[in-house]
Every structure is written in structure tokens, then in C-alpha cells.
Structure 1
Amino acid sequence: MARPRMAAGALFFDEAGRVLLVEPSYKDYRDVPGGYVERGESPLKACTREIHEELGITPRVGRLLVVDWAPNPGEGDKILYLFDGGLLSTDHRHQVALRADELHGYDFHHAERLPELTIPRLVRRITAAIQARLDGLTVYLEHGEPPEAGS
């Protein structure tokens, strides 16, 4: 039986429709806020916990946008959940307190800039999540892409 690692994150937006990305101290690319799911913890609870741990805020996290099966050669099977964080209010932005041991910073970025800021698989996942949000859907991906029919 498979025992995949699971991670959960959220997409937050500003008033201009830009996506929030964090700058982890332990990665050479930007990422969405979130992290690994702990034993006995739901992906939604993990997402909320990780956002609080990383950013020091507890905004409401909305519906599931994407489930992405994305195994990694070094880490094995992984399932990644991406939730809709919605508009991150000015109040929440003023309350952000970064964990210096985890994050160097954060900022909002236009979707067109994602390829220069993060890894291709995450660009595909975020792009699919933005579209799912607009369409009111939840999408399933494999390595950040819709699987071929019948695969």
C-alpha cells in the first residue's frame, strides 16, 4: 500500500490579483505558503497551521483548488493540496511576522512572472489553481499537469 508524503498550501491574492509567494531560506526558488501534513492531521488543518507558523497569521482558508500527485525521486510519492486563501486583507498583511529561520520574505507577483520565480511543476500547479478558482472547480493533476484520458 502506498504511503505518500502529503503537503498543503494556499494561494493568497492581493487587490491587483497578484499571487503571494514566500521566499524560503532552505530553497532556491519561491513557493506558496504551506508545508507537510503531520500524522493524523487533515490537509486543511496542516495548511492553516503552516500559514500560521510561517507568516504568523490565521486567515480563513477556503475550498480545495488542486490535488497534485507529484512524486519526487528523493522523497518518494507525494500528494500536494492547494487551497484558496482568497484576498489577503490589508489587516492580515500588516500582521505578517515571518519566521526568520524559515522565510527570507514574501511578496505578491503577477502570474506571468511565475516561471522566473519558481520551478516549472509549481508554475503549472499555481496556474491550474488560478484557473480552477475562476471556474469554480477542483482539479486533479499529475506533476502539475492534467493526466491524459485513460492513463
Structure 2
Amino acid sequence: MTDLSEYDRALSRKRAAAGVLFFDSSGRVMIVDPVYKECWEIPGGAVEKDESPRAGARREVREELGLDIEPGRLLSVDWTAPRAERSEGIAMLFDGGELSGEQLEAVRLQPEELRAFEFASKDQLERRLIPVLARRVKASIDARRRATTVYLENGSAVG
């Protein structure tokens, strides 16, 4: 992208993140243990400049898990308020579907980023994830079940 208009330069910029929810045959969701922080996460991360959220989610999954899987349907869009050391942002979660045994065997964790992965039931998410992410993942699981997309603010449904 070259020169932006004065109007465009004056607009706010928001962080963007995208993740993918993968499930096992029991309907539990994959969570990952990052080496750089205590709380667990889901596969995904920051969307890079000039990268679509779907492409960012796919890239992050490929980097973190060694799986090249096209993300499915958008499950949620979540606006997150600024907090300590973070600006406001938009986080999107996509449906990764149920992973086969072959796909699970192919998982290769990026050692600089992840220690482990496991599958968690919806009830376990509040104990493993930060509150806003637990709410986002739960709402996204519900949206998947209903075949809808949900808009959230700080992990909670609005409207």
C-alpha cells in the first residue's frame, strides 16, 4: 500500500487477531500452552499487515501446529477494550472442524511458541483460559452448534 489519503491516515487503527477452533471426536476444543505466558490459548494470533483474518488464522495454525488447514466458517467477531499494555482490538474465530486421528498425529508444535496442546470441555475453559477468551470460545462453540456467527464485545454477546 502506498500513500494513504489524509482521511485514511486520521482513522483509528485496531489490533486484529484470528484463531481457529479445532475439535476432537468428543466435541472438546483444542487449547494450546504457550511458552511465553502462563495462561493457555487457542491456535491463532496476530493478523499481519495486508493479511486477511482468514489467511492470518491459517498461517498461525501452520506455524504453531504444523497443520495446513483452510479455516471454515467465521464463528465470532469480538471487539476487545484496551487493557494494560494492549490497545483495543478485534478478534475473529473460525471453525476448524473435527480433527482426524491422522491430523492429530501430524501436529508438530513450534517449540519457540508452544509447550503442549490438549482438548478441553466447555466447562473446563474458565479454568484454563483468561476470562475474555473463555467467554469468546464458549460463545463461538454455541454459534457453531447453531450454525450462526456471533458479535461480541469483551467476549460477551451484544444486542
Same fold by TM-score greater than 0.5 = yes
Map 1:29-108; keep pairs closer than 5 Å. Answer: 29-73=39-83, 74-108=85-119
The offset of 1:27, in angstroms, is 1.7
What is the one-letter code of the residue matched to 1:33? Answer: P
Q: Which runs of 4+ in 1 moved over 6 A?
A: none
The question of 1:110 aligning with 2:126 is answered no
- Give the TM-score normalised by structure 1: 0.95
Map 1:9-24; keep pairs closer than 5 Å. Answer: 9-24=19-34
Q: How many residues align?
A: 148
* Map of 2:152 onto structure 1: 141
Tell me, in whole angstroms, the C-alpha distance in 1 between the residues paired with 2:113 and 2:60.
11
User: Is this contact kept in 2: 1:71–1:79, CA < 8 A?
Assistant: no
RMSD, matched Cα: 0.9
Tell me, in whole angstroms, the C-alpha distance in 1 between the residues paired with 2:89 and 2:128.
22
Q: Percent of aligned positions with the same letter in both sequences? A: 45
User: Is this contact kept in 2: 1:59–1:92, CA < 8 A?
Assistant: no
Structure 1 unpaired stretches of 5+:
none
* Map of 1:127 onto structure 2: 138
Q: Tell which structure's C-alpha radius of gyration is larger.
A: 2
Structure 2 unpaired stretches of 5+:
1-10
